[in-house]
Copies of this chain bind each other. A is one copy, B any other.
Amino acid sequence: MPTLKLTYFDFHGGRGEVARLAFSMGGIEFEDDRIPFSQWADRKPETPFGAIPVLEVDGQPFAQSNGINRYAGKLSGLYPEDLLQAAFCDEAMDAVEDVAAALVGTFSIKDEDEKKAARQALADGPFTNYLRFLSARLDARGGEWFADGRLTVADLKVFLWIRHIRSGNLEHVPTDLADRLAPNLVQHFERVAAHEGVKAYYDGCKS
């Protein structure tokens, strides 16, 4: 097994969380390098694309969160071997990345009215569209999991997005948006949250 170091912000969410979860669920040891927001400006220049997460494998760094998730999923047994199921897994992960990219731009808005308008446009536009798209994809894949008939890194990625929407931490995005538009994604969220490995990870974090 290679020596692994995952660098990301110090909170339970965002683009680095899927890999942390996957490594934990697969029993894969890794160095959990958490950067406090206050230190990010200093460490940004050392990253390959001015962004995190970054995964180092035996000292060789690479970036891009879904590539990291795929790598972590392969090591942890949470990525499909079948070519088509792998493509279904990739599809769901990249779809969440599409909405994440639309969201990221709203974090830096300082003016409160402007931020509210941007978040409402986000909720009514990309979030609404992608909740509906992913809801239909989940149904097309059998209704329970996004690929391979079992939990994969795609399910972890969608789970974290739905959790974020429902958390109340996304100002001006209605917390019941997923519940109203995509009840099957909320059931999926609960299915993932109840998964043994996911429960064990978050139970461990609380202690």
Contact = CB atoms under 8 A, between A and B. Distances in A.
Interface stretch (A25-33, A60-68, A111-119, A185-193): A60-68
A168 interface: no
Choose among A62, A75, A88, A136 the residue with the greatest number of B CB atoms under 10 Å from its CB: A62
Contacts of A60: 84
A9 interface: no
A101 interface: yes
A175 to B, nearest CB: 24
A11 interface: no
Interface stretch (A35-43, A89-97, A159-167, A196-204): A89-97
A64 to B, nearest CB: 4
Contacts of A172: none
A149 interface: no
A70 interface: yes
B87 A62 contact: yes
A137 interface: yes
Contacts of A140: 48
A60 B133 CA distance: 16
Given A83-B71, A101-B101, A64 B90 contact: yes
A86 interface: yes
A57 interface: yes
A3 interface: no
Interface string A121-160: 0000000011001001100100000000000000000000
A64 B101 CA distance: 14
Given A67-B87, A71-B86, 9 more contacts: A2-B84, A48-B140, A49-B95, A57-B87, A62-B87, A66-B94, A70-B90, A74-B83, A75-B83
Interface of A: 2, 48-50, 55, 57, 60, 62-64, 66-68, 70-71, 74-75, 83-84, 86-88, 90-91, 94-95, 98, 101, 129-130, 133, 136-137, 140
